[in-house]
Amino acid sequence: MPKQLVKQLEPGSEVKSIFIVSRKELRKTKAGADYLAVELLDKSGRVEARLWDQVNRYKDTFSERDYIAVSGRVEKFRDQKQVVITSLRKHDEEDVDASDFLRVVGTDRAELEGELRLAVEAVRNLHLRALLRAFLDDDDFMKAFTSAPAAKNYHHPYLGGLLEHTASTVRICRIICDLYPEIDRDLLVTAAALHDIGKIEELGYERGIDFTDAGRFLGHLLISDEMIREKIKTIAGFPGDLAMRLRHAVLSHHGELEWGSPKRPKTLEAVVLHHVDNLDAKVNSFREVAERAGDSDSPWTDMRNLFKRPLYIPRAMSQEVELQLEEDIPH
């Protein structure tokens, strides 16, 4: 069965493809009839789906995180595409190409890791450099760190996304240190490199991306802090004040209590890390919205996005140049 990607589905078209079930709910219509509300997932995105008929036949044949082969059609509901399922069956994992379902970072991961290692070697504080090396020399940690996504939905939601986000955050922080020499460069770079390491335990990504039990109960801020504390214990003479300032920057990097930080930033390095982390996350989130907008006739999106407002996404400059070149060619 040829793979149809979610982003390729258009209202009015037929669907016959394999997807991952990212959500499954048995609901009732206003008339009291059962129906299935399902969210289908692949590497290109998610789409809502509904099974209205033969619900009793299909409701127990599959579960969330299963691969299912779907037949149906695409309709438009409240300005969003929706798949109306006419039939489905659970599909064997052995018969699918995993690359169809999990996106991978576009930048070479070895290049990103190399950039991060160079930044670590530039750290002059011996204790902080020893701490960073303790993570980089941990093969199990690095295997998870270079594979994990940075988020479930919004920013860097793909394999290698955590590494990409971390490398970008470190890169921006190093530039900012050149502008503001009063910043403790070694402390900021170390905090930037370690601020999201807990996401290797917060998120699972075997079939799609979702929160683990540890992620739901604790969250990556507390997990990151625990991982840092454990590594610090292995480094003789690590200054207590330095450890406290580093942990504070990591624990407060969400910025506000209502955004999940147990404390708000109280040092210059913590303030900078919060804003740099937020900047990189928001820029990548905007890119995600732009990619999902596809080939819409309007440059404006709807309000269903992280920013909760219409966003202006003009045609890429490369497309404008290409069109201009075509117009200049004599016919």
CATH of the domain at 67: 2.40.50.140
Q: Say whether both 250 and 134 belong to one domain.
A: yes
Q: Quick one: 270 and 136 in the same domain?
A: yes
pLDDT of residue 249 exceeding 60, the answer is: yes
For helices 161-179 and 185-194, give the axis angle rounded to 10 degrees.
Answer: 170
Same domain, 81 and 169: no
Task: Tell me the two tokens of residue 117.
Answer: 């290692």
Say what the pLDDT of residue 93 is: 84
Within a domain: residue 199? Answer: yes
* Domain contains 14: yes
Residue 303 lies in a domain: no
User: Mean pLDDT, to the nearest integer, of 46-50?
Assistant: 94
pTM for the model stands at 0.81
Indicate if 122 and 31 belong to the same structural domain. Answer: no
Contact between 208 and 103 (Cβ < 8 Å):
no
Nearest to 71, CA basis, from 15, 19, 24 = 15
Residue 258 domain flag: yes
Q: Are residues 89 and 157 in the same domain?
A: no
pLDDT value for 243:
98
Domain count within the chain: 2
Q: Look-up: residue for tokens 């996350």?
A: 281
CATH of the domain at 241: 1.10.3210
Which has the closest alpha carbon to 109: 162, 72, 155?
162
Q: How far apart are CA 7 and CA 13, in angstroms?
A: 12
DSSP one-letter string for 124-154: --HHHHHHHHHHHT-HHHHHHHTT--S-SSS
Q: Could you tell me if 140 and 91 lie in one domain?
A: no
Q: Please, what is the average pLDDT of the chain?
A: 90
Cα 189 to Cα 265: distance, rounded to the nearest angstrom: 16
Task: Please give the residue range of the domain that contains residue 18.
Answer: 6-99
Q: Is residue 325 domain-resident? A: no
Segment 133-157, tens digit of pLDDT? 999 999 999 999 999 999 988 899 9
Same domain, 249 and 267: yes
| Residue 206, token pair as written in the block | 């075997």
Residues 60 and 118 in one domain: no
107 shares its domain with 255: yes
Alpha-carbon gap, residue 171 to 165, rounded angstroms: 10
What is the length of the chain? 331
Q: Is residue 318 part of a domain?
A: no
Would residue 112 count as lying in a domain? yes
How much is the average pLDDT of 268-280?
97
Q: Which residue has the higher pLDDT, 109 or 297?
A: 109
Same domain? 129 vs 274:
yes
Per the model's pLDDT, the better-predicted residue between 289 and 270 turns out to be 270
In a domain, 319, yes or no: no
Considering only 49-58, 175-184, 285-294, which range has the smallest mean pLDDT?
285-294
